[in-house]
């Protein structure tokens, strides 16, 4: 039996194709879903953290131990983080990066499976803050309509204990899949609004909608116990 991350990433990997550099994509050069803007932002954060903690590469044990955050982004191991790293990115490296930056950081493994799968794919495609807010809003809507005892959670984009508690409460009365599907409705509405506000994004709208529809089908397979 596959672990929860493998179940989630199996879907996401279908929709994160090979090398692309669409002129309307704000992420720039992208490979297996990993964009140049994404890795350079992570590299900047890693450098800033080292400066804050007064770490110096010459005396730091992290590179030798394979735990250096910046070094892990230098995918072609040439001493910098640039477009060549995106070109060198493999499917396995993309999966490992997404697991660390989205699945693990958001605590998706601590959510009921349909909510973890939905949150993970949304975070990869739209960013973690927006994906969490959509999930929180969806759970609030289902909780208000269906739970006898319910208190709204903050829709703040932060995965805290109250968000996880509501997720478990919904799962306890078989409402986790309903909340996941409600989050997908939030997601499609966001895409439509984005395309309306930014005409350059219209090129991606149908693909985004297809991805949402496919994820709804995938949730149906999970609900039927296909995995």
Domain count, the chain: 2
Supply the range of the domain harboring residue 48.
4-8+18-104
Q: What is the pLDDT, as a whole number, of residue 49?
A: 79
The DSSP output letter for 61 is: S
- The answer to whether residue 83 sits within a structural domain is yes
Do residues 143 and 213 both lie within one domain? yes
Are 72 and 83 contacting, i.e. CB atoms less than 8 angstroms apart?
Answer: no
Of the three residues 46, 80, 104, the one that is the final residue of a domain is: 104
Does residue 52 lie within any of the structural domains?
Answer: yes
| CA–CA gap between residue 227 and residue 219 (Å, rounded) | 10
Where does a domain end: 70, 104, 138?
104
Mean pLDDT split into 10-residue runs, the chain, 227 residues: 90 93 90 93 84 68 60 84 92 95 97 98 96 98 93 96 96 97 97 95 95 98 85
Residues 198 and 112 in one domain: yes
- Closest to 98 measured CA to CA, from 196, 23, 8, 198: 8
Residue 112 token pair: 């009921």
How many angstroms separate the CA atoms of 102 and 122, rounded?
Answer: 10
Q: Judge if 82 and 155 occupy the same domain.
A: no
What pTM was computed for the model?
0.90
210 shares its domain with 192? yes
Is residue 169 domain-resident?
yes
Three-state SS for 35?
A: strand
């Amino acid at each position: 039996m596959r672990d929860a991350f493998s179940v989630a990433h199996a879907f996401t990997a279908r929709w994160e194709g090979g090398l692309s550099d669409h002129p309307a994509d704000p992420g720039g050069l992208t490979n297996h879903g990993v964009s140049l803007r994404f890795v350079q932002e992570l590299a900047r954060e890693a450098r800033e953290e080292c400066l804050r903690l007064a770490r110096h590469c010459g005396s730091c044990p992290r590179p030798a131990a394979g735990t250096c955050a910046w070094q892990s982004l230098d995918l072609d191991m040439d001493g910098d983080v640039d477009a060549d790293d995106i070109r060198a990115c493999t499917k396995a490296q993309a999966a490992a990066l997404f697991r660390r930056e989205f699945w693990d950081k958001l605590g998706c493994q601590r959510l009921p499976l349909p909510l973890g799968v939905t949150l993970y794919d949304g975070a990869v495609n739209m960013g973690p803050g927006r994906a969490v807010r959509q999930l929180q809003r969806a759970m609030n809507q289902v909780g208000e309509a269906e739970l006898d005892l319910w208190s709204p959670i903050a829709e703040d984009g932060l995965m805290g204990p109250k968000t996880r508690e509501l997720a478990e409460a919904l799962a306890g009365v078989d409402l986790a899949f309903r909340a996941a599907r409600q989050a997908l409705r939030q997601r499609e509405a966001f895409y439509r609004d984005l395309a309306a506000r930014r005409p350059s994004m219209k090129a991606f709208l149908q693909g985004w909608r297809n991805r949402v529809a496919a994820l709804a089908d995938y949730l149906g397979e999970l609900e039927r116990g296909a995995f």
